[in-house]
Amino acid sequence: MGKQPEFDEIYRLYAADLYRYLLRLTGDSALAEDILQDTMLKAFTGIDKFRGDCSMKTWLCTLARNLWRDHLKKAENRNLPLEESWGIADGSDLESQMADKAQAMAIHRLLHRLDEPYKEIFSLRIFAELSFREIGEVFGKTENWARVSFFRAKKKLIEMMEQEDSK
């Protein structure tokens, strides 16, 4: 009984951010919801494994990312076609561009074309709103690595957007 109130609070605080992060990774609202529920179940049953050396949000994003990767591996093993992922571009103020739905869809398509880890780093920073330190922790890298990788991802997206605009 001691876990339930704590877990309700964890769910209330982090579920929406995790869902947005998973939606960007999967491109499928039903799949994002399924992985969110699996993530929360895994967190609930494994809360004693949370060591506290990163934030709860970072730990949950790591669980979600690992479950997403497991899903991809299973899908590849079954030779199931995977849906196109999400894209993002343009440089100076990506957040404001997300407000425009048409622009958001174009950005979403471009984000999906980014190589890993850039796509995931960008999603963690923009959609899950993790700090560079937290992103570094998710990948087992430094804060500086996360910062440099994010700006490389952003630069690649800007270049992709410029190429799309010139077509």
Both 53 and 100 in one domain: the answer is no
pLDDT tens-digit readout, 28-54: 888 888 899 889 888 888 877 887 788
CATH code for the domain of 37: 1.10.1740.10
Residues 58/130, Cβ–Cβ less than 8 Å: yes
Which domain, by its residues, includes 7? Answer: 1-83
Both 115 and 153 in one domain: the answer is yes
Which residue type is seen at 139? F
Q: What is the spatial distance between Cα 133 and Cα 130, in angstroms, rounded to a whole number? A: 8
Model-level pTM? 0.52
Q: What is the mean pLDDT of residues 155-164?
A: 84
Both 48 and 58 in one domain: the answer is yes
pLDDT tens-digit readout, 83-124: 333 334 334 455 554 555 666 677 778 888 888 889 889 888
Q: Give the residue from 62, 83, 104 where a domain finishes.
A: 83
What domain count does the chain have? Answer: 2
CATH code for the domain of 136: 1.10.10.10
Both 59 and 117 in one domain: the answer is no
| Residue 73 in this model has a pLDDT that exceeds 70 | yes
Q: What is the spatial distance between Cα 53 and Cα 50, in angstroms, rounded to a whole number? A: 8
Both 1 and 79 in one domain: the answer is yes
Q: Give the residue from 43, 59, 83 where a domain finishes.
A: 83
